[in-house]
Amino acid sequence: MKRFLIISNRLPVQIAISDDNIDVTPSVGGLATGMQSVSKSFKSSWIGWSGVEAQNLSSEQQKKVDNALAKENCIDVNLTEEEVELYYEGFSNKTIWPLFHYFSQFVEYEEDQWQAYKAVNQKFADVIAENMEGVDKIWVHDYHLLLLPQMIKERFPEVTIGFFLHIPFPSYEVFRILPWRNEIINGMLGADLLGFHTFDYERHFMSSVRRLLGYDIQINEISLPRRIVKVDNFPMGIDYDKFHDAAIASQKKSVRDKSEVRKELERYYLLYPETKFILSIDRLDYSKGLINRLEAFEYFLQEYPEYRDKVTLVLLAVPSRVGVEQYQQMKSEVDEIVGRVNGKYSSINRMPIWYFYRSLPFQNLVDLYNYCEIALITPIRDGMNLVAKEFIASKTDGRGVLILSEMAGASKEMSEALIINPNDKAQIAAAIQTAIEMPDEEQIERNTILQKRLKRYNVEKWANDFLNSLEKVKMSEEIYLAK
């Protein structure tokens, strides 16, 4: 059987190191799940960074880490503290991330970060080169590794390379701001198949290729001098059954076995049966629109006073990139607004916002999705947004209303949600009212369509579709070269 390589910045594992023990546990994220289904048909290995900085390990410990990773079919790309700072926290998260999410005011243009980005992409290419035996296909993921496809193609021209971008690709007028724009585009064009979440990102990419490099472009093909590159959209799905089944199982649990979250929500609901819970979940990231969401909620409480005692916003923010200045600033701003709103609208028994700054175990997450009547998801920009899909998948009686930003890739597939402009406070407030008042039959009607779609196009289907297209690319390339 041919071998297949999956490449991403981080390996899909968590590593815990103590004096005499190394514990490696597989992580359960969407990408890892999608890839599990792929590894049924291919013998695959995953190459990426373990999350442990190389110089913090003794050679003995490094050996143990490598052995433990090998059992999970994972291969570590050792990164030093400096590389992590310049390549990951630097160029990836201070240049590419803000630019591709249209936050051009946050973009840093640092030559040393760019050099580190190139060097680490090269380091990935070197580790790949050491592990190429029997490999005929490579799938590279995301914005940390935009130069890697070309680096692999130069060394292994016969190998088929796929690349998938998990974040938006911005319009040409934004992308062109980048001093290293041509290198980035050329890096990506090393792939045989380029995948994006939406047609718009695909179109933006094509437009940048045409305007920067002048290549000939047909509907979803780019003709390079010696080969063609296919470009297509593959909206990423979720592990639908996992969320749906967990929600059903949770409802059947006895009081003793229920999660703390569920017990607390049920207790509160007994005291205040009129309460509608509005759920907000994301990483604390400026692209996710937490500030505008909180301001819209504040506006709702102010303009719709009759609902003040009937709604509770459950705000869950996962700590993210805590070393980056804009993230620290945003955290202070969120703290301030939550304090202001709770200060103004709380009563002795009730608080309008329940604020949690932490990650949650899977079961609690599912219980929140399942129990809360409304989800308020208002990113300023978001490649896809899986939370929106997980919320709908976790509904078991068809009830629940999703309010979703038109700037999330997910909005393209979820038009049955209440779609809003994240910068329009009045529109968001009106949508909250609509959601609270929406009749059950209408909720069920909308969610039935959404659930059917999410179940059909799940993460397994997404991964398989991408790989099927990768197979076809090879065939059409042979025809092209024969012409």
- Residues between 4 and 33 that touch ligand ADQ (CB under 6 A): 30
360 lies in the site for ligand ADQ, by CB under 6 A: yes
Between 57 and 290, whose beta carbon lies closer to ligand ADQ?
A: 290
C-beta atoms surrounding 322 within 10 Å: 9
Q: Stretches 14-22, 279-287, 305-313, 416-424: which one binds ligand ADQ (CB under 6 A)?
A: 279-287
SS3 403: strand
284 lies in the site for ligand ADQ, by CB under 6 A: no
- Residues between 139 and 198 that touch ligand ADQ (CB under 6 A): 166-167
- The Cα–Cα gap between 445 and 429 comes to 23
C-beta atoms surrounding 333 within 10 Å: 14
Q: Stretches 47-55, 61-69, 307-315, 377-385: which one binds ligand ADQ (CB under 6 A)?
A: 377-385
386 lies in the site for ligand ADQ, by CB under 6 A: yes
With b for 16 or more beta-carbon neighbours within 10 A and e for fewer, the 338-374 pattern comes to beebbeebeeeebbbbbbeeeebeebbbbbbbbbbbb
281 lies in the site for ligand ADQ, by CB under 6 A: yes
Between 135 and 167, whose beta carbon lies closer to ligand ADQ?
A: 167
Site size with ligand ADQ, rule: CB under 6 A: 19
According to CB under 6 A, which one of 64, 227, 283, 308 is a site residue for ligand ADQ?
283
According to CB under 6 A, which one of 290, 313, 384, 432 is a site residue for ligand ADQ?
384
- In the bound complex, what is the minimum distance in angstroms from residue 294's beta carbon to ligand ADQ? 17
Closest listed residue to residue 185, CA positions, set 215, 205, 166, 157: 205
DSSP letter for each residue of 19-87? SS-EEEEE---HHHHHHHHHHHHSEEEEEEE-SS-GGGS-HHHHHHHHHHHHHTTEEE----HHHIIII
According to CB under 6 A, which one of 104, 122, 359, 421 is a site residue for ligand ADQ?
359
- The Cα–Cα gap between 201 and 100 comes to 10
Between 41 and 359, whose beta carbon lies closer to ligand ADQ?
A: 359
Q: Stretches 86-94, 271-279, 384-392, 464-472: which one binds ligand ADQ (CB under 6 A)?
A: 384-392
Phi, psi of 350, rounded to the nearest 5 degrees:
-125, 145
Q: Stretches 131-139, 216-224, 277-285, 396-404: which one binds ligand ADQ (CB under 6 A)?
A: 277-285
413 lies in the site for ligand ADQ, by CB under 6 A: no
Structure tokens at 152: 């692999």
401 lies in the site for ligand ADQ, by CB under 6 A: no
Compute the CA torsion angle 222, 223, 224, 230 (nearest 10 deg): 40
382 lies in the site for ligand ADQ, by CB under 6 A: yes
C-beta atoms surrounding 117 within 10 Å: 27
Between 351 and 360, whose beta carbon lies closer to ligand ADQ?
A: 360
383 lies in the site for ligand ADQ, by CB under 6 A: yes
385 lies in the site for ligand ADQ, by CB under 6 A: yes
Sheet harboring 3-10: ordered strands across?
Answer: 74-76, 43-49, 3-10, 135-141, 160-164, 193-196, 228-233, 221-223, 216-218
Interacting residues with ligand ADQ (CB under 6 A)? 30, 166-167, 236, 281-283, 316, 318, 359-360, 365, 382-387, 390
